[in-house]
C-alpha cells in the first residue's frame, strides 16, 4: 500500500508478523518475479515495490480493495449511529478511480450525517493506526450534502472531484 517506501527485511518481518529468514526467502522470489526491487545500504537489504513492473498497478488495486482505506473505513463506519453515507475524496479517490498522480500521503473522508464528532475523531485515529497514513475526516449535514443550491464551496468542490462511496452495512445511503 506504500509503493514509494522502502522497508528493511527486519521492518517487513515485523509488519507482517513473520521471521526475517522467511521474509528474506520470499523477498528473493518476489525480486526475481519482478514484484519487488531491492538494494543494499551497507549491510541492510531494502525492499520496495517494483513501480515500473507491469504487475504493480493491478496488485496495488487488489491491495487497495482488500486492505486499503476502503475496507478499513467501511468496517469502522458501518453501524455508527448518525452516519447516513461516507465517501473518500481527494487524491486517494482520484488515484483509485484512475487519475494519474503521486501516491497519496493521506486519505480524505467525508461523512454525511449527525454522528458524534468525538466518535468520528476516534474512528479516524483507529484508521490512521491501521493504515499508517493520516485520515482527514469531515462531517457535513445531510441537508447541505443533498441541496445542490446550498452554495457551500467545500461541498461543491468535493462533488466536482472523484468520489468513492463507502458501502456501509447498516444505515441509510444517499
For residue 18, what is its C-alpha cell? 513473520
Give the per-residue pLDDT at 121. 97
How far apart, in Å, are the Cα atoms of 111 and each of 22, 77, 125, 161?
A: 41, 9, 15, 16
**CATH number of the domain to which 26 belongs:** 1.10.10.10
Per the rule left: phi > 0, alpha: psi between -120 and 50, beta: everything else, 123 is: alpha
Give the per-residue pLDDT at 172. 45
| φ and ψ of 44, to 5 deg | -100, 130
Identify whether residues 129 and 156 lie together within a single domain.
yes
172 occurs within a structural domain: no
123 occurs within a structural domain: yes
For residues 52-60, give the mean pLDDT: 82
What pLDDT band is residue 56 in, cutting at 50, 70 and 90? confident
Give the per-residue pLDDT at 64. 67
Nearest CA to 110 out of 165, 33, 30 is that of 165
What pLDDT band is residue 104 in, cutting at 50, 70 and 90? confident
49 occurs within a structural domain: yes
How far apart, in Å, are the Cα atoms of 20 and each of 17, 32, 42, 130?
A: 9, 18, 17, 22
Question: Does position 152 have pLDDT exceeding 50, yes or no?
Answer: yes
Task: Show the domain range for 25.
Answer: 7-55
Identify whether residues 96 and 131 lie together within a single domain.
yes
What pLDDT band is residue 148 in, cutting at 50, 70 and 90? low
Would you say 109 and 73 are in contact if contact means Cβ atoms under 8 Å apart? yes
| φ and ψ of 117, to 5 deg | -65, -40
Identify whether residues 85 and 128 lie together within a single domain.
yes
63 occurs within a structural domain: no
Amino acid at each position: 500500500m506504500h509503493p514509494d517506501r522502502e522497508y528493511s527485511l527486519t521492518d517487513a518481518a515485523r509488519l507482517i508478523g513473520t521471521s526475517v529468514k522467511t521474509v528474506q526467502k520470499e523477498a528473493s522470489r518476489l525480486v526475481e518475479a519482478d514484484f519487488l526491487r531491492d538494494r543494499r545500504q551497507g549491510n541492510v537489504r531494502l525492499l520496495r515495490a517494483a513501480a515500473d513492473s507491469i504487475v504493480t498497478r493491478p496488485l496495488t488495486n487488489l491491495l487497495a480493495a482488500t486492505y486499503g482505506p476502503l475496507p478499513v473505513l467501511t468496517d469502522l463506519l458501518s453501524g455508527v449511529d448518525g452516519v447516513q453515507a461516507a465517501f473518500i475524496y481527494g487524491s486517494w479517490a482520484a488515484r483509485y478511480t484512475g487519475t494519474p498522480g503521486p501516491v497519496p500521503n493521506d486519505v480524505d473522508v467525508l461523512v454525511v450525517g449527525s454522528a458524534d464528532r468525538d466518535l468520528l475523531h476516534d474512528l479516524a485515529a483507529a484508521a490512521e493506526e491501521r493504515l499508517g497514513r493520516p485520515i482527514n475526516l469531515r462531517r457535513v449535514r445531510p441537508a447541505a450534502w443533498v441541496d445542490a443550491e446550498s452554495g457551500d464551496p467545500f461541498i461543491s468542490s468535493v462533488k466536482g472531484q472523484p468520489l468513492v462511496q463507502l458501502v456501509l452495512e447498516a444505515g441509510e445511503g444517499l
